[in-house]
């Protein structure tokens, strides 16, 4: 991906950037490994809205349930106040490959509907991600996987305290 972004034409045509957070209101899939990494970031001090994470996790893997939530509730729990990703260096692989080359206004899902957008061709990266998802022990919607990972950590700590 980094090599792709060294291309001047790519740099000129990709419309995404810090503060453009339309896609941060869509349902994102992650592997268990990615969820564990993000859970560790929370343990290490990244502040998130745990209540919103819980509400989002109730949608499980259902897009229909996800889009029943209001736009503000659908915002990624790692989305900062200025529309920046607070875990940018550790963001999910899917977030790394969604780069829009069409009008970014079409990325908005505020009305609860996904519109057609043109994405940068990241075929090679997408194939690696698909292989990783296929070989991962578990994957699913980020809120569900992250909530489960945090819950598992709490349960393990509780067991350790009772020993």
25 phi and psi angles, rounded to 5 deg:
-115, 10
Residue 106 inside a domain? The answer is: yes
What one-character-per-residue DSSP string does 46-84 give? Answer: ----HHHHHHHHTTTT-HHHHTTS-HHHHS-TTB-TTS-
Residue 157's pLDDT is what? Answer: 77
How far apart (Å, rounded) are the C-alpha atoms in residues 25 and 68? Answer: 12
Q: What's the whole-number mean pLDDT along residues 36-61?
A: 96
Residue 161 inside a domain? The answer is: no
Cβ neighbour number for residue 124 with a 10 Å cutoff = 12
Q: Which two tokens stand for residue 37?
A: 């990494």
pLDDT band at 10 (very low <50, low <70, confident <90, very high): low
Residue 105 inside a domain? The answer is: yes
Residue 162 inside a domain? The answer is: no
Per-residue pLDDT reduced to its tens digit, 83-126: 999 999 999 988 887 776 667 777 778 887 777 777 666 666 77
- What is the number of structural domains in the chain? 1
- Evaluate if residue 40 carries a pLDDT over 70: yes
Residue 122 inside a domain? The answer is: yes
Residue 163 inside a domain? The answer is: no
**What predicted TM-score, i.e. pTM, was given to this entire model?**
0.78
Residue 163's pLDDT is what? Answer: 61
Residue 49 domain boundaries? 4-153
Residue 153's pLDDT is what? Answer: 86
The lowest-confidence range among 51-55, 58-62, 137-141, 151-155 is 151-155
Residue 141 inside a domain? The answer is: yes
């Amino acid at each position: 991906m980094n090599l792709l972004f060294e291309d001047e034409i790519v740099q000129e045509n990709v419309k995404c950037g810090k503060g453009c957070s339309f896609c941060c209101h869509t349902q994102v899939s992650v592997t268990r490994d990615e969820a564990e990494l993000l859970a560790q970031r929370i343990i290490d001090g990244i502040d998130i809205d745990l209540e919103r994470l819980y509400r989002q996790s109730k949608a499980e893997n259902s897009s229909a349930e996800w889009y029943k939530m209001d736009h503000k509730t659908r915002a990624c729990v790692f989305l900062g106040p200025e529309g920046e990703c607070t875990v940018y260096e550790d963001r999910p692989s899917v977030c790394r490959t969604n780069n829009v080359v069409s009008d970014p206004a079409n990325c908005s899902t505020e009305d609860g509907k996904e519109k057609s957008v043109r994405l940068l061709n990241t075929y090679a990266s997408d194939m690696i991600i698909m292989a990783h998802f296929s070989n991962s022990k578990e994957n699913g919607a980020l809120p569900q996987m992250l909530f489960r990972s945090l819950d598992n950590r709490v349960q393990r700590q509780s067991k350790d305290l009772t020993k």
